[in-house]
């Protein structure tokens, strides 16, 4: 990919303590093939120096409009960008953008940008919840700006609460999503309660070993993350994952075995509008688990008796309250009896869910990968092919279908 072909991203950095995390956002963007121009505010340079941003981006860093005047940077940078990301976006930056201010290079660039704009807020809880900030956020969203819901956690000093900057990996995933599809994060799930399962269950053989699967949990986490940023109240029931960071603005419940996951899903889904069963549940479990590590012996490997795990998706469908929409997942390989799509159609009919996300696995597909592809099958007989894209993009496509069905 030539320099001219690389997606052009402007990374704005406002003056908050979370400015240091912008370095990780920058690193991830540049290493994934994006051309990134950093525009900090003057106050941001109190936290991270210009030399750091220049070294990581390979591009000059300015804060005012009087540098490189012949290039008219406060106009050109916004006009030429494919995406503008501001991380962190402080309460002051949000207010200035809402007012249409253009008193430095960053706000001038934001006013001239006609590409997607993504703000990742970071501020104290009281500031995030203040009516002025809430009004500014609502106004910006009405203008098409994507303002992320912040994470909840440790803030400056001993304070804790909503207002924490989402993890850099999450910001970059959502930035990539907007580059793939600028309209992927509408606020169409506001007022909806969503429950999502993700990750792979583990069934213990002994204190060391288990029966499980290769699910990384990335797709399920993406489904939860996108739902939250589209306005839903999301509970994520998480089995084992590849050490994924909890999505911002998502309540997380942890489970290990299929039985634990079943109990959590039945409890959490009682009053949900939408339930998405994307966890990879082990089909079988050992009848008993050894109290101590099983040792190699002269008699050869031990015989392990297996029992069938409960069908959580079918049970969720059977017990769902009126009006609840249930989405299942099917990871298939295809065999002599049928293709991936053939098996998925049979599973949809057998489970009775409203929608089924089907995808091929194995040979470097789906499991432990950043991208995915597949089909979205519906109980009414419709089928939508999902071409290869990021797992966040597949999540957005899923929520498009769900949103259209729940009105």
pLDDT digits (tens, 9 = 90+) for 241-257: 988 999 999 999 999 99
Q: Which two tokens stand for residue 270?
A: 């009682």
Q: Which two tokens stand for residue 144?
A: 């098409």
Supply the pLDDT for residue 66.
66
Supply the pLDDT for residue 365.
55
Closest CA to 156 of 120, 129, 134, 123: 123
Closest CA to 201 of 324, 292, 286, 327: 286
Please give the C-alpha separations between residue 345 and each of 12, 79, 348, 367, in angstroms, as whole numbers.
46, 47, 5, 21
How many CA atoms within 13 Å lie on the side-chain side of 249? 27
Helices marked H in 143-283: 168-180, 218-229, 258-268
213 catalytic per annotation: yes
Supply the pLDDT for residue 237.
98
Supply the pLDDT for residue 337.
80
Where b means 16+ CB within 10 Å and e means fewer, 369-405 reads: eeebbbbbbbeeeeeeebeebbbbbbbbbbbbbbbee
Supply the pLDDT for residue 363.
65
pLDDT in tens, 154-184: 998 888 999 999 999 999 999 999 999 999 9
Q: Which two tokens stand for residue 132?
A: 């002025």
| Sign of the alpha-carbon dihedral angle for 110, 101, 49, 120 | negative
* Structural domains of the chain in order of their starting residue, each with its CATH number: 3-180 (3.40.50.1950), 193-291+303-406 (3.40.50.10300)
Instruction: Determine which one of 213, 309, 359, 372 is catalytic.
Output: 213
Spans of the chain, pLDDT less than 50: 1
Supply the pLDDT for residue 193.
98
């Amino acid at each position: 990919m030539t320099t001219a072909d690389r997606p052009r991203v402007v990374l704005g950095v406002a003056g908050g303590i979370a400015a240091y995390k912008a370095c990780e956002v920058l690193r991830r963007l540049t290493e994934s093939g994006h051309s990134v121009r950093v525009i900090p505010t003057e106050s941001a340079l109190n936290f991270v120096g210009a030399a750091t941003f220049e070294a990581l981006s390979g591009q000059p860093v300015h804060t005012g409009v009087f540098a490189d005047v012949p290039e008219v940077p406060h106009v050109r940078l916004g006009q030429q960008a494919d995406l503008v990301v501001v991380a962190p976006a402080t309460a002051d930056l949000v207010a200035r953008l809402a007012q249409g201010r253009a008193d430095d290079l960053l706000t001038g660039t934001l006013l001239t940008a006609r590409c997607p704009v993504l703000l990742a807020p970071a501020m104290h809880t009281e500031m995030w919840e203040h009516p002025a900030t809430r009004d500014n956020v609502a106004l910006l969203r009405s203008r098409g700006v994507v303002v992320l819901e912040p994470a909840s956690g440790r803030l400056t000093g001993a304070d804790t609460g909503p207002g924490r900057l989402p993890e850099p990996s999450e910001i970059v995933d959502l930035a990539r999503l907007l580059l793939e599809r600028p309209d992927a994060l509408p606020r169409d799930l506001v007022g909806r309660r969503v429950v999502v399962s993700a990750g792979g269950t583990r069934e213990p053989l002994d204190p060391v070993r288990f029966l499980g699967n290769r699910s990384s949990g990335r797709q399920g986490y993406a489904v939860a993350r996108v739902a939250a940023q589209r306005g839903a109240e999301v509970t994520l029931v998480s089995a084992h994952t590849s050490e994924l960071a909890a999505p911002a603005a998502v309540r997380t419940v942890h489970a290990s075995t299929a039985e634990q996951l079943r109990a959590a899903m039945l409890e959490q889904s009682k009053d949900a509008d939408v339930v998405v069963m994307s966890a990879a549940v082990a089909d079988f479990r050992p009848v008993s688990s050894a109290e101590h590590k099983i040792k190699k012996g002269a008699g050869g490997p031990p015989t392990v008796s297996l029992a069938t795990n409960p069908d959580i998706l079918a049970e969720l469908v059977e017990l769902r309250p009126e009006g609840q929409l249930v989405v299942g997942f099917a990871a298939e390989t295809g065999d002599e009896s049928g293709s991936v799509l053939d098996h998925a159609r049979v599973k949809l009919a057998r489970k009775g869910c409203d929608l089924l996300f089907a995808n091929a696995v194995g040979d470097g597909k789906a499991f432990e990968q950043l991208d995915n592809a597949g089909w979205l099958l519906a109980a009414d007989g419709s089928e939508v092919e999902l071409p290869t894209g990021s797992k966040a993009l597949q999540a957005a496509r899923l929520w498009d279908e769900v949103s259209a069905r729940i009105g």
